[in-house]
Amino acid sequence: MSAVVLYCRAGFEGECAAEIQERAAELGIHGYCKAPGNSGLVSFHCKHEEADHIARKTPVYKLIFARQLFVRVAECNELPIQDRVGAMLEALAELDTDVLPKCGDIWVETADTNEGRALSALCRSITATLRKSMREHEHLTEKDTDRRPVMHVMFRSTHSAMLGYSYTYNHSPYPMGIARVRSPKNAPSRSAAKLAEAFKVMIPAADFDKRVSSGMNAVDLGACPGGWTAVLVQHGMMVQAVDNGAMDESLMQTGQVKHFREDGFAFRPKKRNIEWLVCDMVDKPVKVSHLMADWFVEEYCQQAIFNLKLPMKKRYPAVQQYLQAIHDRLAEAEMRHYELHAKHLYHDREEITLYLRRT
Ligand SMILES: C[S@@+](CC[C@H](N)C(=O)[O-])C[C@H]1O[C@@H](n2cnc3c(N)ncnc32)[C@H](O)[C@@H]1O
């Protein structure tokens, strides 16, 4: 039996499993999940053709809790330490010919867990040999190309690995599904990395310069001390930062920031010239969802990125409820032209990040 393998944050395997089961069912595929607690991994078991269909048809960028998705074609559980690569090649040689497409690149990965991180030196040291051997056995093209699928080799321990592939037109373009981002220099809080990641992961690269550009006006609700504002400033935006707290002095000196000591739920800008609304206020998720929708209904902004806190339990249904609250509010106002995505980003812990955009 084949499987679709998904990476997620450790501790969120239940949510990731619920989501892939729902998406697969929409395609008429009914498999079962293995989602060991705190493994950062979920596998959805089904026939190979079905796993391949999911990998083509379930948009990975729309999955909330999964960072990456690939079709597993082989699992090697007794890799000999002296010749792991040879054992993997043997496992691939036993497959039917059409099960593993010829790939254009190879990513050697682990789960995002402490155990996984302990394997990163092994991943680095084996990559060149794996690449060379996979080329010699024609599992990989002579030169790297993104026109062919990516081969995933996912080490679970020093002696076990899963092998599979993902389609480059429908996967996270980042190994392990984790986009590496740099916060602006001197950003006053670590939260800056979260908005930087949201920009990188949630906005298609081809449209980035259109959607995020210098000279745009932005509002940051719950801005202090200014990590998110620093990201907006770095992109050349003029920012209205709303928070009763203290803003970082060096940010204020850029001349791009105006600080409003006001309640973020009551604040509205004087002019309707705001492109970006960002909001990191920690409050009831449905309340924040309604606030975000209201800004769109009242035509105050074009795009928004915001965080919603997750409950301790029943997180997947809670997320559905938050999304529905936004859809309902927009539907009531007969606003039909928008896109809404949610993602549990690498920098998110007990929260998710949403991107709402007028289309
Ligand atoms: C998680 S912090 C924001 C961190 C910020 N995004 C950064 O990158 O530095 C949440 C902030 O929301 C502010 N906040 C909470 N409720 C608020 C409200 N009703 N109006 C304005 N600010 C609020 C808090 O004062 C706090 O500074």
Please check whether residue 106 is in contact with residue 151, taking contact to mean a CB–CB distance below 8 angstroms: yes
* Calpha distance 132→174 (Å, rounded): 21
Question: pLDDT tens digit string along 61-88?
Answer: 999 999 999 999 999 999 999 999 999 9
Domain topology for 2-177: Alpha-Beta Plaits (3.30.70)
Which residues, 6 or more positions from 297, have their beta carbon under 8 angstroms from its beta carbon?
329, 330, 333, 335
Give the CA angle between residues 214, 272, 220 to the nearest 5°.
60
Query: CB within 6 Å of ligand 1 — which residues?
Result: 189, 191-192, 222-228, 242-245, 263-265, 280-283
Look at residue 311 in the predicted model and tell me its pLDDT: 96
Mutate to test the pocket of ligand 1, among 190, 221, 243 (most ligand atoms within 8 A of CB): 243
| Under 8 Å between Cβ of 311 and 318 | yes
Known binding residue 226? Answer is yes
Q: Is 105 annotated as a binding residue?
A: no
Bridge-based pairing state of the strands 303-309 and 238-242: unpaired
Exposure string (b/e) for 12-22, b if CB count within 10 Å is 16 or more?
Answer: bbbbbbbbbbe
Residues of the chain falling short of pLDDT 50 = none
Q: Give the model's pLDDT for residue 97.
A: 83
Instruction: Kindly calculate the radius of gyration of the chain based on its CA atoms and give it in whole angstroms.
Output: 22
Give long-range contacts, CB 8 A cutoff, 24+ apart: 263-269: 264/221, 264/222, 264/291, 265/291, 267/219, 267/221, 267/242, 268/298, 268/300, 269/217, 269/219, 269/240, 269/300
Q: How many Å lie between the centroid of ligand 1 and the Cα of residue 155?
A: 40
For residue 224, say whether it is annotated as part of any ligand binding site: yes
All CATH 3.30.70.2810 domain ranges of the chain, comma separated, are 2-177
Query: Is residue 214 annotated as involved in ligand binding?
Result: no
Count how many Cα atoms sit within 13 Å of the Cα of residue 3 in the half-sphere of its side chain.
18
Which CATH code is given to the segment(s) 192-358? 3.40.50.150
Options 34, 57, 200, 309, the catalytic residue: 309
- Are the beta carbons of 211 and 303 closer than 8 angstroms? yes
Tens digits of residue pLDDT in 276-318: 999 999 999 999 999 999 999 999 999 999 999 999 999 999 9
Residue 281, both tokens: 């206020």
Supply the pLDDT for residue 339: 98
Instruction: Choose the residue to mutate in 191, 260, 281, 353 for probing ligand 1, maximizing ligand atoms within 8 Å of C-beta.
Output: 281
Closest ligand 1 atom number to CA of residue 281: 12
List, by residue range, all CATH 3.40.50.150 domains of the chain. 192-358
State phi, psi for 307 to the nearest 5 degrees.
-105, 145
**Which of the listed residues 189, 244, 268, 353 should we mutate to test ligand 1's pocket, taking the one with most ligand atoms within 8 A of CB?**
244
Task: Give the distance (Å) from ligand 1 centre to CA of residue 221.
Answer: 7
pLDDT of residue 154: 98
Q: What's the rounded Cα separation, in Å, for the pair 288 and 280? A: 9
Chain centre to alpha carbon of residue 232:
20
Residue with tokens 């996912």: 154
Q: How far apart are the CA of 212 and the centre of ligand 1, in A?
A: 23
Find residue 157's DSSP bridge partners.
160
Output the pLDDT for position 1.
77
Distance from Cα 215 to the centre of ligand 1, integer Å: 24
Residue 309 falls in the annotated catalytic set: yes
Q: Which positions ≥6 away from 17 have C-beta within 8 Å?
A: 33, 35, 42, 44
